[in-house]
Amino acid sequence: MNVLSRIFGRKVTENFRDIGFEEAGLALKKEIDTAFGRSLAIRELDSGSDNAAEIELVNLNAPHYDVERFGISFVASPRHADALIITGAVTRNMKIAVEKTYEAMPSPKLVIAVGDDACTGGIYGDSYAVLGGADKVLPVDMKIPGNPPSPAEILRGLLALMKKIREGSRA
Amino acid sequence: MEMLGKIEKIAGGKMHAKISVNMGNEIHIIPQKAEDFNALIGAFARSGFGLVSLFCFQPHGKGFRLIYAFEKQGYPEIAVIQRDAGISVPSVAGTFPSACWYEREITDGFGIRFDAAFDRRRLFLHDAYPDDFHPLLKSFKNKGITAKSEISAEEEYAFKKVHGEGVYQVPVGPVHAGIIEPGHFRFSVIGETICNLEIRMFYKHRGIEKLAEDKAPEECVRIAESISGDETAANAAAFCIAAEKIAGIKIHSRAAHLRTVMMEMERIYSHLGDIAGMIIDVAYPAGASPFFIFREEMLRANAELTGSRFMKDAMCIGGVRKNPSNEALSRLSSRLKDFSSGFSGAVKDVLSSPSVVDRLETTGVIRKDLVAALNLSGPIARASGSSRDTRIDHPYGIYSGTAFAKRVLHEGDVLARFKLKAAEIEDSVGIIRELIAGMPEGPICEPAKIPDGSAFSLVESARGQSLHWLSIRNGVVERYKVRTASFCNWQAIEHAVIGNIVPDFPLINKSLNLSYAGTDL
């Protein structure tokens, strides 16, 4: 492929600029600057999802969304994370791993439940294999429902959380 | 029914077995005595039958019935050996290695012991589950349970130990570094070379099969969709097909067309994710970006078609719930045409880079003889010289009338899987555009009353063969068995990585695209 045309040619991302998403992203960037001092490091943890939420979280980094522009990064270790995103109801087999991941994070730390199952336990209500939503195991600061929520919905949920934190710290 | 004749020939003579046909394409064989069962298993192995599933259920809530499902290349039917079981049964894992996980699964679920089994460790019940707890027994009513508060050293899962000078272990997971599902990998390594890998899955075990029990069939479509989010259409279709077989209904032609469009869209976006992931894993994000862009466009097309990016809530027993307009369908068709030319250009781009090809070629080879032994299916099998494709081997829906050829490559390495998936994306584009061109008008859903009965259904998801078995009694689900392609295909990774270096593991894993959720259930 021709590297020069990539540098000087029309940018591919110009083809799918979504004004609503851009505005929400820039608002989020402003909130993160205020509440978190420029960046928000997120660790993702799947505690029993059906994997669709993971796909949408990966999409946040893909060219259409590219949320690193807004100060959000997904980090490889809980030790580097400000916030934990949990997807899926918490299974019995994941309980210890969920607790250890949370313990490994430095305080202060946030927990965000993404998807219906993480928010409420979803369809797994009485299952022997599931403990319930993320709040059965960890203190949850924000719930972003959906089956799964779209990348734009996840971004708006993060924006709502940052606003909540800013307002909380002022109060 | 050529298969019936073949089985009668095998089971005839000295063996005593009752043979019957269910749902037109299931040949059920009930051997009369224990020695007839053993002889039949041996004869099936010699005649080239492959074990595609093994599970247990309790007919009318009593006793144990084991179901061994087989297929044989070239025959559209499936052969099913049934036997009643006491609390212990001979293992068939020595003859059919793919039985190993099934037998462990049955022991966890029902408490049945398999004599002479080479692996008796727990499978989906991890260490914290109490002793003598068997959730699939009818006597257990689904509810929260009290787990063990402490796990002693003997109760901890025993990994295989590899000894020798310079051998060390690398434990990875269940929580991984990226945005990925959880699972544990135990590598034994000399220098950088992997000499053994043992995987431990089922961290995401949610109790899907038990969850479906005693529910009305229509409530379970949602459960089938939750088996694996990126196999929503395939598993929803497989569940619905099983229910429709029991009800004896044929869905309307428009519904059959739309279902197939959805399943092929799923194949396209799933394969696009794998291709993007493989290129990311060889550290070439600029090459991967076009595929991420295409995948997002496909997810958006799904939303336009069905209201959901993952096509959730789009199918029902008797047909489909969403009826896209013909204009929307022709928009999709032209969108796919544009996509197709952009896609082949992007594939050419990455494969023209020697550093990409160098990483993909000869990496993570899966030998052809593993395909039958482990019951591998999907692109993994087809990139290793097998021609297994459920759409052609056991035609369902409208695949029997769709013209597409099987794709087979022989190298079995990551590059072969990459090329095969790229080719299958092009095929799926062709199938969808052909279906849209011939899209009939008419109703999309036929209401169905489902009588008592049981049926298998086999569907080719993006990952390979998804097998569902549904038994209805008194209008509710008596037993729902699911075996996705990933359940079997995961076991291939332990073989594919041998002799490779640890840094190639993510690449091999991505090329196999295995669903944790779909395995753990």
Domain contains B225:
yes
* CATH number for position B486: 1.10.645.10
Q: pLDDT tens digits, residue range B177-210?
A: 889 999 999 999 999 999 999 999 999 999 999 9
On the question of pLDDT at A147 being above 90, the answer is yes
Domain contains B128:
no
Structure token pair of residue B53: 């599933």
Q: Are residues B285 and B330 in the same domain?
A: yes
Report the pLDDT value the prediction gives residue B400, as an integer from 0 to 100: 74
Domain contains B356:
yes
Q: Are residues B310 and B333 in the same domain?
A: yes
Q: Which amino acid is at A69?
A: R
Domain contains B137:
no
Q: Are residues B196 and B212 in the same domain?
A: no
Report the pLDDT value the prediction gives residue A23, as an integer from 0 to 100: 93
Task: Name the CA dihedral angle for B363, B364, B368, B371, rounded to a multiple of 10 degrees.
Answer: -150
B39 half-sphere exposure, CB direction, 13 A CA radius: 17
Q: pLDDT tens digits, residue range B234-262?
A: 999 999 999 999 999 999 999 999 999 99
Domain contains B122:
no
Q: Are residues B212 and B347 in the same domain?
A: yes
Q: Single out the residue in B151, B178, B200 at which a domain terminates.
A: B200
Domains defined along chain A, listed by start: 16-170 (3.40.50.12280)
Mean pLDDT, chain B, integer: 93
Q: pLDDT tens digits, residue range B506-518?
A: 999 999 999 999 9
Q: Single out the residue in B115, B147, B173 at which a domain terminates.
A: B115
d(CA A77, CA A71): 18
Report the pLDDT value the prediction gives residue B7, as an integer from 0 to 100: 86
Report the pLDDT value the prediction gives residue B346, as an integer from 0 to 100: 94
Tell whether A26 lies on the interface with B, counting CB pairs under 8 A: no
Q: pLDDT tens digits, residue range B253-292?
A: 999 999 999 999 999 999 999 999 999 999 999 999 999 9
Q: Provide mean pLDDT across the span B72-76.
A: 91
Report the pLDDT value the prediction gives residue A16, as an integer from 0 to 100: 82
Total number of domains in chain B: 3
Domain contains B140:
no
Q: Which residue of B has its CA nearest to A132?
A: B144
Chain B positions touching A96 (Cβ under 8 A) are 128
On the question of pLDDT at B27 being above 70, the answer is yes
* CATH number for position B66: 3.30.460.80
Domain contains B282:
yes
Burial class (CB in 10 A: 0-12, 13-18, 19+), A170: exposed
Task: Name the CA dihedral angle for A43, A49, A52, A55, rounded to a multiple of 10 degrees.
Answer: 20
Q: Are residues B196 and B261 in the same domain?
A: no
Q: Are residues B170 and B227 in the same domain?
A: no
- Which of A56, A76, A128 faces B144 most closely, judged by CB atoms? A128
Chain B positions touching A104 (Cβ under 8 A) are none
pLDDT grade for B9, boundaries at 50, 70 and 90: confident
Closest C-alpha to A2, from B286, B230, B324, B260: B286
- Which of B178, B180, B296 faces A64 most closely, judged by CB atoms? B296
Q: pLDDT tens digits, residue range B214-225?
A: 999 999 999 999
Q: Which residue of A has its CA nearest to B203?
A: A93
ipTM of the complex: 0.93
Report the pLDDT value the prediction gives residue A170, as an integer from 0 to 100: 55
Q: Are residues B296 and B383 in the same domain?
A: yes
Q: How far is B328 from chain A (nearest CA, A)?
A: 20
Q: Determine how many CB atoms are found less than 10 A away from the CB of residue B499.
A: 10
Q: pLDDT tens digits, residue range B462-516?
A: 999 999 999 999 999 999 999 999 999 999 999 999 999 999 999 999 999 999 9
Q: Are residues B179 and B284 in the same domain?
A: no
Q: How far is B170 from chain A (nearest CA, A)?
A: 17
SS3 category, A101:
helix
- Which of B124, B296, B309 faces A62 most closely, judged by CB atoms? B296
- Percent pLDDT > 70 in chain B is 99
Q: Are residues B274 and B417 in the same domain?
A: yes
Tell whether A91 lies on the interface with B, counting CB pairs under 8 A: yes
Best of B179, B220, B355 to substitute, by most chain A Cβ atoms within 10 angstroms, is B179
Give B 461-520 residues with CB within 8 A of chain A. Answer: 515-517, 520
- Rounded to two decimals, the pTM is 0.95
Q: Are residues B7 and B72 in the same domain?
A: yes
Contact call for A130 and B516, based on CB within 8 A: no
Domain contains B133:
no
Q: Which residue of A has its CA nearest to B300?
A: A150
d(CA B98, CA B372): 8
d(CA B297, CA B312): 17
- Which of B175, B178, B230 faces A51 most closely, judged by CB atoms? B230
- Which of A52, A64, A91 faces B206 most closely, judged by CB atoms? A91
Q: Are residues B227 and B183 in the same domain?
A: no
Q: Which residue of B has its CA nearest to A2?
A: B349
Q: Which domain holds residue B288?
A: 208-520
Q: Are residues B168 and B268 in the same domain?
A: no
Q: How far is CA B226 from each of CA B320, B482, B518, rounded to the nearest angstrom?
A: 17, 12, 9
Q: How far is B225 from chain A (nearest CA, A)?
A: 9
Q: Could you say which DSSP state residue B401 is in?
A: G
Q: pLDDT tens digits, residue range A19-52?
A: 899 999 999 999 999 888 889 999 999 999 999 9
Asked whether the beta carbons of A80 and A37 are under 8 A apart, the reply is no
Chain B positions touching A116 (Cβ under 8 A) are none
- H-type helices in B394-484, by residue range? 414-437
pLDDT grade for A1, boundaries at 50, 70 and 90: low
Contact call for A50 and B517, based on CB within 8 A: yes
Contact call for B145 and A128, based on CB within 8 A: yes
Strands A90-91 and A72-74 come out as: unpaired
Tell whether A90 lies on the interface with B, counting CB pairs under 8 A: no
Q: Single out the residue in B115, B150, B170 at which a domain terminates.
A: B115
Strands B26-31 and B78-85 come out as: parallel
Asked whether the beta carbons of B22 and B455 are under 8 A apart, the reply is yes
The alpha carbon of A53 is separated from its chain's Cα centroid by a whole number of angstroms, namely 10
Chain A positions touching B517 (Cβ under 8 A) are 49-51
The C-alpha angle with vertex A116 and arms to A111 and A120, in degrees rounded to 5, equals 70
Report the pLDDT value the prediction gives residue A144, as an integer from 0 to 100: 97
Q: Provide mean pLDDT across the span B426-450.
A: 93
